[in-house]
Chain A
Amino acid sequence: MMSNRFRSVSLLALVLPCVLASRAVAQVAVRGKTVYTMTGAPIRDGVVLIRDGKIAAVGTAAAVSIPEGFRVLEATVVTPGLIDAHSTVGLSGIYNQPHDQDQLEHSAPIQPELRAIDAYNAREKLISWIRGFGVTTIHTGHAPGELISGQTTIVKTWGDTFDDAVIVSTAAVAATLSPLAQKTDKGKSPGTRGKMMAMLREELIKAQEYQRKREKADPEKTPDRDLGLDMMGRVLKGEIPLMVTANRAQDIASTLRLAKEFNIRVWLDSASEGYLMLDEIKQAGVPVIVHPSMVRAFADFENMSFETAAKLRKAGVPIALQSGYESYVPKTRVVLFEAGWAAANGLTFDEALAIITIDAAKILGIDNRVGSLAVGKEGDVALYDGDPFEYTSHCVGVVIDGNVVSEAPQ
């Protein structure tokens, strides 16, 4: 043990200049008794070869020879690095004190101009916590809790800065159609469901008119630039989806109505009564980022079901799973555990793994880069000493862009 440790330390010293020059230097081979590639049937005794940070080969150990000098990691089960399709970590921090809580700005109910990029703390401790369970990509940003709370981003769970970590700088604009966004400060924030929809529609109509005027040739009539309306304009053009957090059936219906009225791309978020709206959601062609399987059953979630993910998927709705937003203890959930609970409540093992890997990547629009173990994709891999969903298994290794970022069993 000791000599191995020394060897890796001295190796580190040798390669340090290269690390500074380029993040992805490690040449790594991951060998697993079972390798879930998410592109087909699992491979028994498989190898994933990662060269210069990208996957160079995937196959059986017999078919893929490991070149000299490659570092070899071994595990019982190997999966693609996991994707958490909706989190707030990096904006929400472990201490839960005002100085590390940037996920909700309460000064106004509609602030699409708030960028996640300006708040994301790449060194946040919760990020290394979830990474230790195999989560390598997160969609994170402004939390549910204001009508339009701000923007979201997609990042890897590694790197010292936002620029190191970023995959998609602005992924979505986050909206909340739920009593979570209702306030009692009369006149500023919405107090009812009707008012929430009225304010959202007004904002989108304002953005339509702003866009039209901005695009007119006459510079005399061009309205002043407005960061929020710029952003809503991108939503109206379909460049960026509006992620709408809605749980009750009527709020889900409102979300679908809004998508149709303005012909915008929508990600339906949470959807704890989604099992009541299977046909409607499917017909609308809207993907769902499902609430954590074990979300607490009260308030907006009082009719939550452990089987929501299974029912939506069975109905043919594209879904991904999330760890969600936690305002108290624990400060974050772990999407691996939420997927395990979904696997125990109606989904098959493969389906439950898909909604935190390839299916999540497809919804988030990053499946060209991550989400499966396929040649050309980024070298993000999670290693486990047993069934990843079993509580008593451990994540025994995490590789991001070909870098072995964690080996301590967690």
Chain B
Amino acid sequence: MMLLTGCLAAKAQEAAIHPDAPQAFVGAKLIPISGPEIDRGVVLIEHGKITAIGAADAVAIPPDARRVDVAGKIIMPGLVDTHNHIGGFGGADSSAPIQPDVRIFDSLNVRDSGFRRAVAGGLTTLNIMPGSGHLLSGQTIYVKLRKAEIIDDLFIRDADGKPTGGLKMANGTNSMRDAPFPGTRGKSAALVRERFIKAQEYRDKIAKAVGDSDKMPPRDIGLEALVEVLDGKRIVHHHTHRHDDILTVIRLSQEFGFRVVLHHVSEGWKVADEIAKAGVPCSVIVVDSPGGKLEAVDMTFKTGAALEKAGAQVAFHTDDWITDSRVFLRSAALAVRAGMSRDGALKALTLAGAKMLDLGDRIGSLEVGKDADFIILDGDPLSVYSKVLETYVEGQKVFDRTDPKDYLYAVGGYGAGNEQAPYLCCFDQPEGQ
């Protein structure tokens, strides 16, 4: 009985801050990404969507709206991380180099502290992926960092209610290992081509069956995912570092007509014109130094700038655990240090990434009709001293730096870790990979 009363009280409290009440965030500097910055603006949200945005004197605030004074603060869209590994990820196992049947979300723990750290860093949308130790390590999942009890609460669903995600692939040294894995780059590409040809044949058989269940091929959930790729419904997110490996990815994507985002792209600056010409978007990692493996020796802060200059689409990613989600803004700032434009770098944290997840019409900028996913900062997003004060997903506050529980995850401290150490495939080995 006591317990029940407690529950009811909690429910009542929740109702009082229900996201359906219109809210007006008044007085902040707005960085909409889709348009010029607004010095003193208003963002109006209702039912989890942005209903108005503009200069303070240009937006009519409804009388029933809850006003939130954010004068002196900065509001920008929630950050979109195109490549993240939080949640205790475990994708494909060591049984085979190509495993499109494996879904990353079957392994995710929604209570993993990584999710709490991510919202503290201002992240609102993630592409959570399996690792890079396979040519194809499984299906990725696009998530919103809502408050959640089970992983399904985080899914971003399509019009049919199906969870959305991509497919993780890799080339270069990470996926070259002892048999049954490939030992060379030539073999890597051959194995991928063979599997895509199988998928084409599988698709053709289904088409020929024209709905006749007797003529349908036996169901293959791995090939089903690849058919989605061939049909352009599922985007390939491809780990690739070396300049020639990058070109291999582009070649394969053109042969089979699949949509692809290049990830990491450490030597992308060497083939920036080729990447731009192919119209293939890039999700770039920014880390503190080059090296750590042969393919990353020529890694540089200037990759973003070089790709931008060549006319390629650029987003950034954390690759969390490689970099911490709480310092994601830093990726853009270091790219600006090396010559990328401020606007381009901020877009690369938000709208550019959203587009690479096919979510550009729903998130990534402060625009009327888009999801009310945004962050409030106490200073310029590119300054080391600035803090994410609050994070909102679909109008609901999911992080508040003044809440001691949230603060613990924002800065760390005793109890901020996981009770169960996460599975990590390659980062705790002292020797070369």
Residues of A within 8 A of B (CB): 93-98, 101, 104, 106, 125-126, 129-130, 143, 145, 273, 275-276, 294, 296-299, 302-307, 326-334, 337, 340-341, 343-345, 389-394
- Chain B interface residue count, CB cutoff 8 Å, equals 45
Could you tell me the distance between the alpha carbons of A143 and B429 in the complex, rounded to whole angstroms?
13
CA distance A345 to B386 in the complex (A): 10
Instruction: Check if A129 sits within 8 Å of B413, measured CB to CB.
Output: no
For chain B residues 385-433, which have a beta carbon within 8 Å of chain A? Answer: 385, 387, 411-418, 421-422, 424, 426-433
A327 near B324 with CB under 8 A, answer no
CB-CB under 8 A from B260, the residues of chain A are: none
Question: Which A residues lie within 8 Å of B430 (CB)?
Answer: 104, 106, 143, 145, 327
Q: Which of B270-291 contact A (CB under 8 A)?
A: 287-291
Bound form: Cα–Cα A50–B322 in Å: 41
Q: Which residues of the other chain, B, contact A337 by a CB distance below 8 angstroms?
A: 288
B-chain residues with CB within 8 Å of residue A343 when the two chains form the complex? 384-385
A-B residue pairs, 6 tightest by C-beta? A302-B417, A94-B291, A329-B292, A391-B333, A331-B291, A305-B412
Docked Cα-Cα span, A101 to B291, in Å, equals: 12
* A334-B288 contact given A327-B429, A389-B384, CB 8 Å threshold: yes
Residue of B nearest to A304 (CB): B412
A98 and B431 contact, CB distance less than 8 A: yes
Using CB atoms, name the residue of chain B closest to A103.
B430
Residues of A within 8 A of B297 (CB): 94-95
Minimum distance in angstroms from B165 CB to a CB of chain A: 24
Closest to A295 in B: B324
B424 / chain A contacts, CB cutoff of 8 Å: 298
State the Cβ distance, A283 to closest chain B Cβ, in Å.
Answer: 20
Chain B residue numbers with a CB within 8 Å of A331 are 289-292
10 contacts between A and B (CB under 8 A): A104-B430, A126-B291, A294-B327, A298-B417, A303-B412, A306-B411, A326-B292, A328-B433, A330-B290, A333-B289
Q: Given A331-B292, A392-B382, A394-B337, do A275 and B413 touch, yes or no (CB 8 Å)?
A: yes
- Residues of chain B within 8 A of A298, CB atoms compared: 321, 417-418, 421-422, 424
- Closest Cβ–Cβ distance, residue B433 to chain A (whole Å): 7
Query: Is residue B336 contacting chain A, with contact meaning CB distance below 8 A?
Result: yes
Given contacts A104-B430, A328-B426, 5 further A-B contacts (CB under 8 A): A302-B416, A305-B416, A329-B291, A331-B289, A332-B291
Q: Is the CB of B324 within 8 A of A297?
A: yes
Write out the residue numbers on chain B whose beta carbons fall within 8 Å of the beta carbon of A393.
337
B106 to A: closest C-beta gap in Å: 22
- Residue from A106, A125, A330 with most neighbouring chain B CB atoms (10 Å): A330
**B327–A95 touching, CB < 8 Å:** no
Cα distance A82–B288 in the bound complex, in angstroms: 17
Cα(A360)–Cα(B413), bound, Å: 24
Find B289's partner among A302, A330, A394 (CB 8 Å cutoff).
Answer: A330
A296 to B324, CA, bound (A): 7
Task: Write out the residue numbers on chain B whose beta carbons fall within 8 Å of the beta carbon of A302.
Answer: 113, 416-418, 421
Tell me how far the C-beta of A242 lies from the nearest C-beta in chain B, rounded to whole angstroms. Answer: 21
Q: Are B382 and A391 in contact (CB under 8 A)?
A: yes
CB-contacts of B48-96 with A (<8 A)? none
State A390–B416 Cα separation when bound (angstroms). 27
Asked if A94 and B290 make an inter-chain contact with CB atoms under 8 angstroms apart, the answer reads yes
Residues of chain B with a CB closer than 8 A to A145's CB: 430
- Of chain A, the residue at the smallest CB distance from B345 is A392
**Nearest neighbor of B428 in chain A, beta-carbon distance:** A299
- CB <8 Å contact, A96 and B428: no
B185 on the A face (CB < 8 A): no
Pairwise interchain contact B432-A126, C-beta atoms closer than 8 A? no
CB-CB under 8 A from B414, the residues of chain A are 273, 275-276, 303
Q: Indicate whether B213 reaches chain A with its CB closer than 8 angstroms.
A: no
**Contact residues of A: prevailing secondary structure:** loop
Are A334 and B289 touching (Cβ within 8 A)? yes
A406 CB to closest chain B CB (Å) equals 16
Complex CA–CA separation, A61 to B182 (angstroms): 65
Closest chain-A Cβ to B366's Cβ sits at a distance in Å of 23
Centre residue among B287, B291, B412 by max chain A CB count within 10 A: B291
Residues on B with beta carbons closer than 8 Å to the beta carbon of A333: 288-289
- Which residues of A lie under 8 Å from residue B427 when comparing CB positions? 296, 327-328
A168 to B413, CA, bound (A): 35
CA distance A302 to B321 in the complex (A): 12
| B40 at interface by CB-CB < 8 Å | no
**Chain B residue with Cβ nearest A323:** B288
- Closest-by-CB residue of A relative to B415 is A303
Q: Is B147 an interface residue (CB 8 A)?
A: no
- Over the window 304-335 of chain B, the binary record of Cβ atoms lying under 8 Å from chain A Cβ atoms (1 yes, 0 no) is 00000000000000000110100100100110
By the criterion CB–CB under 8 Å, are A327 and B428 in contact? yes
B337 and A299 form a contact (CB under 8 A): no
CB A303 to nearest CB in B, in angstroms, measures 5
Q: Point out the residues of chain B lying under 8 angstroms from A340, CB to CB.
A: 384
CB contacts (< 8 Å) of B113 on chain A: these are: 297, 302
Are A98 and B287 interface neighbours, CB within 8 A? no
A94 to chain B, nearest CB (A): 3
**B421 & A129 in contact (Cβ 8 Å cutoff):** no
CB nearest neighbor in A for B241: A329
What's the Cα separation between A42 and B119 when bound, in Å? Answer: 38
Least CB separation from A104: chain B residue: B430
Q: Which residues in B have their C-beta under 8 angstroms from that of A96? A: 291-294, 431-433
Chain B nearest CB from A129 CB (Å) reads 6
Is B117 an interface position by the 8 A CB rule? yes
Given contacts A327-B427, A329-B296, A343-B385, contact A95 B291 (CB under 8 A): yes
Alpha-carbon separation in the docked complex, A106 to B431 (Å)? 10
**Whole-angstrom distance between the alpha carbons of A377 and B166 in the complex?**
58
Q: How far is the CA of A334 from the CA of B334 in the complex (A)?
A: 13
Q: Specify the chain A residue showing the minimal Cβ separation from B426.
A: A328
- C-alpha gap A341/B411 in the complex (Å): 11
Complex alpha-carbon distance, A73 and B8, angstroms: 69
Q: How far, in whole Å, are A296 and B422 apart by their CA atoms in the complex?
A: 12
**Could you tell me if A391 and B336 are in contact, using CB atoms closer than 8 angstroms?**
yes
User: What residues on A are CB-neighbors of B411 within 8 Å?
Assistant: 305-307, 345
Complex CA–CA separation, A297 to B415 (angstroms): 11
Whether the pair A297, B417 counts as a contact (CB closer than 8 A) is yes
Chain B residues whose CB sits within 8 angstroms of the CB of A294 once the complex forms:
324, 327
Instruction: List residues of chain A with CB within 8 A of the CB of B5.
Output: none
